[in-house]
Amino acid sequence: MGTKKEIHDVVMIGAGPAALSAAIYTTREDIDTVLFEKGVIGGLAAVTAWVDNYPGFIKGVAGLELSDSLQKQAERFGADIRLGEVTKIEIDGKLKKLTTSEGDIYAKAVLIATGSDYRKLGIPGEETFYGKGVHYCATCDGAFYREKKLVVVGGGNSAVQESIFLTKFATHIDLLVRGDSMRASEILQHELAKHKDKITVHMNTVTNEIVGENGKVVKVLAKNVKTGKIISYKTDGVFVFIGLIPNTQFLKDSKIELDNIGMIKTKSNMETSMDGVFAAGDVRSGATMQIASATGEGATAALMIRKYMDPHASTGY
């Protein structure tokens, strides 16, 4: 006689804002829900020092506090949150089979909410001042730098768009581009030229070190690759926009369709190309990379999962 399969209604991969919000909805409906998180519960939100733009918090909220509240709320309704890693998803009859660090587990439906990580420079000072002068989201943290000087690193569309956005707050921005040309679209480069009073572009410039004093960022050391000269840029903060790494490596051999940067493609109901497997939050192609929208997507995905499991169920109130 074989070992009995561990079967659940829903297994969620990841336990960031999208999955925790989805779990609040599913567990309130008495849908048996297990979440697997291989890193930190709360995801990037948990390691964000301060969240100033999440609705309902007039003075802002610590990222860890927000994540902790979401976790406790999901657990209050019965969510089973486990620390572990999912390495494979495949169809097994009417179920989805997940290969995990705890062994095989089966689900009627799956939500992938593994998020994305910001691509890092990997230089001295970057990790030390993360969230305390080094940032990866202008919408999240730009307002902290009113009437301040900033350094932005990157030469693609995001770096240009975010630099232009940051001119709303900063008095001056030094944009450091490692190549001898920008990767941003022509339209964005023309838009960037309109802000030359506030943004100075430095080509062929490699960022070497982020330097701080008394717990605050004070300058960036960079090197001009043409001349070999080391240049110091005084700054109050550094924003890095050199791309995102979606946490989808475990899907590379699956039948789940990804876009050109590895994010998960979804239909209008947030279902992926694999039947009964849904995606939400920062791992989904087209995501806006905001905590508020991730929680909203999580709630939507939960309602779509309920509809999938019971086609007669309502998706609204």
| Helix, strand or coil, per DSSP, at residue 78 | coil
pLDDT of residue 316: 60
Q: What token pair was written down for 177?
A: 């581009």
242: nearest Cα among 144, 306, 176:
176
DSSP letter (8 states) at residue 18: H
pLDDT tens series, the chain, 317 aa: 457 899 999 999 999 999 999 999 999 999 999 999 999 999 988 877 788 889 999 999 999 999 999 999 999 999 999 999 999 999 999 999 999 999 999 999 999 999 999 899 999 999 999 989 999 989 889 999 999 999 999 999 989 999 999 999 999 999 999 999 999 999 999 999 999 999 999 999 999 999 999 999 999 999 999 999 999 999 999 999 998 899 999 998 899 999 999 999 999 999 999 999 999 999 999 998 899 999 999 999 999 999 999 887 766 64
120-240 to CATH, choices 3.40.50.620, 3.50.50.60, 3.30.559.10, 3.30.499.10:
3.50.50.60
Query: With the C-alpha atoms ordered 301, 303, 309, 312, is the resulting torsion angle positive or negative?
Result: negative
pLDDT of residue 73: 98
Tell me whether domains 7-117+244-309 and 120-240 share a fold: yes
Q: Where do runs of H (alpha helix) occur along the chain?
A: 17-28, 43-46, 63-76, 138-141, 157-166, 186-193, 291-309
DSSP 29-66: TT--EEEEESS-TTHHHHT-SEE--STT-TT-EEHHHH
pLDDT of residue 47: 77
Single out the catalytic residue among 52, 68, 137, 282: 137
* pTM as predicted: 0.81
pLDDT of residue 2: 56
Q: Which long-range contacts (CB under 8 A, 24 or more apart) does 216-223 make?
A: 216/132, 216/133, 217/125, 217/129, 217/132, 217/133, 217/134, 220/151, 220/174, 220/176, 222/176
pLDDT of residue 54: 93
| CATH dotted code for 7-117+244-309 | 3.50.50.60
Name residues whose C-beta falls within 8 Å of residue 304's C-beta, 6 or more positions apart in sequence: 269, 270, 271, 278, 315
| Residues paired with residue 90 on neighbouring β-strands, in sequence order | 97
Element (H, E) at 241: none
Active site residue 80: no
Cα-trace Rg, the chain: 22
Domain boundaries, the chain: 7-117+244-309, 120-240
Active site residue 140: yes
Single out the catalytic residue among 141, 174, 236, 282: 141
> Cβ of 305: how many Cβ atoms within 10 Å?
31
Block residue for tokens 């007669």: 312
Single out the catalytic residue among 140, 174, 236, 282: 140
By CB atoms closer than 10 A (0-12, 13-18, 19+), residue 252 is exposed
pLDDT of residue 312: 77
**CA 157 – CA 313 distance, rounded (Å):** 42
Active site residue 137: yes
